[in-house]
């Protein structure tokens, strides 16, 4: 629902803490001062700006509403800073005219009133879920110029691979919602779909050197069709992880780069995967992997602890894993080491 609110309304909400400037939904870095000042000049001259998106939630118990900014945070921060005299317009009269060098308190009363009564167009998303907000955000930016590689892929490729990725990402939203394998801030830019694409790539081609060209290749090669059974293998592995390893998914092994290799190890144990770029270092699939869940959990717990240890505390036999986990995790050298030891951790034998 589109509504009009004055700047005075918004400043009151901020003061009363009924408006949350939610950084989880933001995709841009903090604006430079020049950009903030130009926005204030736009407001002072009564010119229009793009509408702001807010999620409006109502608490049935308190019967109060609160709002979260999902798009437009930097604009509101600039407005707040100017109203608090924390922002001053630039010195160039060619740019700012009669408002050059002025803060809010430097303005005459009439101009201050005009500033506070400026009408902001606000699209309110009433009681919307995170998924609904993310869908809105993706649609807003579908035709923008500031798009990342994953957004470009989903605009270019419309076939089987893209469809499978989107559906799997939604089907296994527990990975994002509960375990935060990909955080909300990254999901705004389709980071969940990007990881799911890599997971499906592991099923199809094994552990390979990563990077954007690799992911692009998956969308291109499997645009028309995906080999039968690939999605079922993906589902089986994810289901196993969330059903049997919930404690492990609360550790650092649930961070996206590590989860991808843990997923690869589980798929290999359950179904086997191609050797990919592992070549002669590919662990041989054994019948004992995942047969003793208690041992697997204990081993994975050890590796999770290694991730948070200082380098000089790490036992010698885990130093290679620690080093591989701290560097560029998408390169095959790192993935080779991490996948190998994670697969080994799934065996009954203690690491």
Task: Report domain extents, the chain.
Answer: 2-130, 146-345
161-168 average pLDDT score: 92
Model confidence pLDDT, tens digit, residues 116-128: 999 999 988 888 8
Asked whether the beta carbons of 275 and 204 are under 8 A apart, the reply is no
* Tens digit of each residue's pLDDT (9 = 90 or more) over 42-83: 899 998 888 888 888 887 887 888 888 888 888 999 999 999
pTM to 2 decimals?
Answer: 0.67
Residue 229 DSSP SS3: coil
Per-residue pLDDT at 28: 47
| Lowest-confidence pick of 2-16, 107-121, 144-158 | 144-158
Dihedral sign from CA coordinates of 292, 295, 297, 299: negative
| Three-point CA angle 281, 215, 221, nearest 5° | 95
Share of the chain above pLDDT 90, in %: 64
CA distance 332 to 40: 49
Indicate whether 186 pLDDT > 90: no
Residue 146 pLDDT grade (very low, low, confident, very high; cuts 50, 70, 90): low
Task: State the pLDDT at residue 64.
Answer: 80
Average the pLDDT over 273-277 and give the result: 97
Q: Which residues of 161-189 are buried (b: 16+ CB within 10 A; e: fewer)?
A: bbebbbebbeebeebbeebbbbebebbbb
Going along the chain, which residue ranges are E strands? Answer: 2-6, 19-20, 52-59, 64-71, 119-126
């Amino acid at each position: 629902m589109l509504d009009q609110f004055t700047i005075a309304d918004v400043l009151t909400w901020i003061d009363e803490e009924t408006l949350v400037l939610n950084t989880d939904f933001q995709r841009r870095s903090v604006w430079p001062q020049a950009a903030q000042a130009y926005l204030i000049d736009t407001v002072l001259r009564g010119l229009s700006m793009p509408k702001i998106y807010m999620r409006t939630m109502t608490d049935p118990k308190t019967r109060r509403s609160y709002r979260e900014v999902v798009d437009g945070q930097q604009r509101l921060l600039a407005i707040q800073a100017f109203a608090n005299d924390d922002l001053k317009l630039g010195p160039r009269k060619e740019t700012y005219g009669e408002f050059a060098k002025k803060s809010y308190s430097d303005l005459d009363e009439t101009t201050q009133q005009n500033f506070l009564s400026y009408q902001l167009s606000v699209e309110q998303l009433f009681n919307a879920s995170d998924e609904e907000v993310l869908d809105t955000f993706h649609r807003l930016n579908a035709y923008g110029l500031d798009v990342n590689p994953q957004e470009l892929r989903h605009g270019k490729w419309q076939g089987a691979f893209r469809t499978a990725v989107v559906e799997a990402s939604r089907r296994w939203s527990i990975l994002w919602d509960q375990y935060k394998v990909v955080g909300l801030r990254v999901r705004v830019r389709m980071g969940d779909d990007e990881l799911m694409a890599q997971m499906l790539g592991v099923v199809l081609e094994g552990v390979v050197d990563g990077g954007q060209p690799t992911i692009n290749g998956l969308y291109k090669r499997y645009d028309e069709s995906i080999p039968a059974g690939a999605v079922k293998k993906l589902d089986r592995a994810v289901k196993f992880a969330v059903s049997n390893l919930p404690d492990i998914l609360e550790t650092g092994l649930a961070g996206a780069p590590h989860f991808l290799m843990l997923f690869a190890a589980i798929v290999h144990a359950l179904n086997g995967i191609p050797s990919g770029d592992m070549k002669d270092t590919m662990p041989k699939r054994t019948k004992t992997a995942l047969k003793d869940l208690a041992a697997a959990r204990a081993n994975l717990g050890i590796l999770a602890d290694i991730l948070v240890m200082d380098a000089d505390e790490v036992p010698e036999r885990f130093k290679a894993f620690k080093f591989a986990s701290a560097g560029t995790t998408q390169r095959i050298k790192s993935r080779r080491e991490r996948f190998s030891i994670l697969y080994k951790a799934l065996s009954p034998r203690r690491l």
